[in-house]
Chain A
Amino acid sequence: MKKISIIITLFALSRLLNAQFYIRAETGYMFSTHPLKIQSIEAIGTSATVYTMSFKYGQGVPLILSFGYNLNSLFSIELSGSTHISSSFETSTDRPDLSSSYNLSINGFFGDIKYQSNIFQLAPQLVCHFVNDKITLNIAAGPNLLKSCFTHKLDYTDWNFDGSKFIPLQTYQEVEYTTDLNVGIRSYIGINYQFSSSLSFCMNLVSSYNRCKVIRGEIKRYDIDGADHLGDLTSPIIKSNGDNSKVNFSQTGITVGIKINLFHYRVD
């Protein structure tokens, strides 16, 4: 039994001798495929207007670094790590003036929200590649581990009714949310063009699907009319709302980059 194990191990190792390591650096643009949309309603007398705000979590410029290992001429395994830059966006609605009209009513959020979603992804993947002269076609899939920390900067008018009239309170709030580590799916299909034995240009169509649960929120700043009121809050911590607090970071986009073979030997 021991001898058989040794033979199998040696056979497996002999297969790996045909392999080579590579690294790949990519960037591009990823679009949010599941933006969160919220609606706010403003009604003046017999007339209503609905405002829609869209939150594109997961959208931005990815910076991806992959480390791979060619098992044979057909398959590789690789580990990709990535984060996003340029992931700040703004969404806003008109701000109704409750003090100017007695028959105006509002439901929802009215104001400006700047949000930034920092995401960190780690994806071990199985890659299948077809080599044809200088061109290699790839398809890959595997689990995608994603964790995010995103911030909302809310600028809005709060209204305080003093018994006779509405008094506007210019409010600014910064909230930082942390999600759990979600395991989703990441895949890509792409093409490599080989410039030399060690260097290739690559372009990939990438899709990933992750939905993370917000586990914690913390109000970092709370100003009313320019004065700090964070201390007035009972607690700056916002509790998770269970499954209803899931945020969808699914994304799809195009990436381009370079692939460097660490040994100048091409497997065919």
Chain B
Amino acid sequence: MNRNILLVWLFLASTLLQNNLSYGQSFYMKAGGQYNIPVSKDPLPHYFSFSPNGYTINWDNPDFSVAEGFNAMWTAGYSFNDLLSFEIGASYFANTKKEFNASPVYLFADNGKTNWYYKNYTLLPAIIFSRTLNKSALDLKLFAGIGLSDLKVKALYRSLYEKYAFDKSISYTYGYGMEYLYSLSPVVQLYINAGINNTYYTPEHARRVAYSPDIANPYICFNEIDYVNNIRNLKGAYYGDSFITDTDKPEIRIRETLKANSFYFGIGVKYTFTKNEKN
């Protein structure tokens, strides 16, 4: 029922807006998909410890990025004139490169791997500058927005594993790009685009959501982790070379930002709500 009301509201709103447009002004909607390739990599962040059954696992990787993957974009925009438009996009991103093996592999160490499941939902306001070229057009796009990021990480060594889920927290995105649009009809255009996208996400809290039944003493590990800016006078005790705090309370670790910098390219379709000439 609510869905029907929303559809009727959208239809009425678009009809009213369409009838009140001046020359050169128009509303439009776009839908498309993009593929992202990382342009910068970093050492793999250690958001938690993974030392099951006393093993010291090597799971470092100096060439890590979660920026590789697909994103889907839905956009609503308004053209003020032939040159300038404003739009708001909703983007969903999921990484496709998930598995990172220990690198370099040490001959006399236990080498493991991690699986990263990263999703990002972002609202992206953008300014568009256009240039019309006969049946086609070129757009320059500058965007910045905020969103929510969702991360799950699984660390594995042979049959042993631990999986942590990170609370959704705010991520920041900015970038710019270019679109080439080709008119199929006065209201429908196909477009291809390319550009640079930067997303930064800093986890604040994580929970251990699963661990291998083969782990002998899971209760000595932390079930929760809080990420903070400063650690001062943290209470605990040395156990061997490690400083251990009370495992009944969340582990405290320094915050680390997950950076996703990518070059994107994609394809999509644009539908423009034009003014009826008879009105």
Contact = CB atoms under 8 A, between A and B. Distances in A.
Contacts of A185: 39, 196, 263
Interface in A199-249: 205, 207, 209-211, 242-244, 246, 248
B198 A252 contact: yes
Contact of A211 (B41, B140, B236): B41
A41 B243 CA distance: 9
B114 to A, nearest CB: 17
Interface in B228-250: 230-238, 243
A100 interface: no
**The 3 nearest A-B residue pairs measured at CB:** A50-B231, A209-B40, A189-B176
Contacts of B151: none
A236 B279 CA distance: 83
Contacts of A9: none
Contacts of B178: 128, 139
Interface in B38-76: 39-43, 60, 62-63
- Describe B's contact surface by its main secondary structure: strand
B254 A50 contact: yes
Interface in B14-45: 39-43
B154 interface: no
Interface of A: 33-34, 37, 39, 41, 43, 46-50, 52, 74, 105, 128, 130, 132, 137, 139, 141, 184-185, 187, 189, 205, 207, 209-211, 242-244, 246, 248, 250, 252
Given A52-B254, A185-B263, A248 B42 contact: yes
Contact of A246 (B39, B62, B138): B62
Given A48-B243, A128-B178, A189-B176, A137 B235 contact: no
A191 to B, nearest CB: 9
A194 B235 CA distance: 63
B231 A207 contact: no
A34 B129 contact: no
Given A52-B254, A184-B39, A243-B103, A207 B198 contact: yes
A248 B38 CA distance: 14
Contacts of B234: 47-50
A250 B257 CA distance: 15
A244 B138 CA distance: 42
A76 to B, nearest CB: 14
B: interface residue count bin? 35 or more
B231 to A, nearest CB: 4
B142 interface: yes
A153 to B, nearest CB: 24
A205 B238 contact: no
A48 B231 contact: yes
B243 A33 contact: no
Contacts of A244: 43, 60, 62, 104
Contacts of A34: 40, 42, 259
8 contacts: A34-B259, A41-B243, A130-B129, A137-B140, A185-B39, A207-B196, A243-B63, A250-B40
A43 B140 contact: no
Contact of B129 (A74, A137, A246): A137
B87 to A, nearest CB: 16
A132 B83 contact: yes
B268 to A, nearest CB: 18
A239 to B, nearest CB: 15
Given A43-B243, A139-B178, A189-B140, A209 B261 contact: yes
A167 to B, nearest CB: 24
B129 A46 contact: no
Contact of A250 (B138, B235, B243, B261): B261
A187 B231 CA distance: 38
Given A211-B40, A211-B41, A243-B62, A205 B176 contact: yes
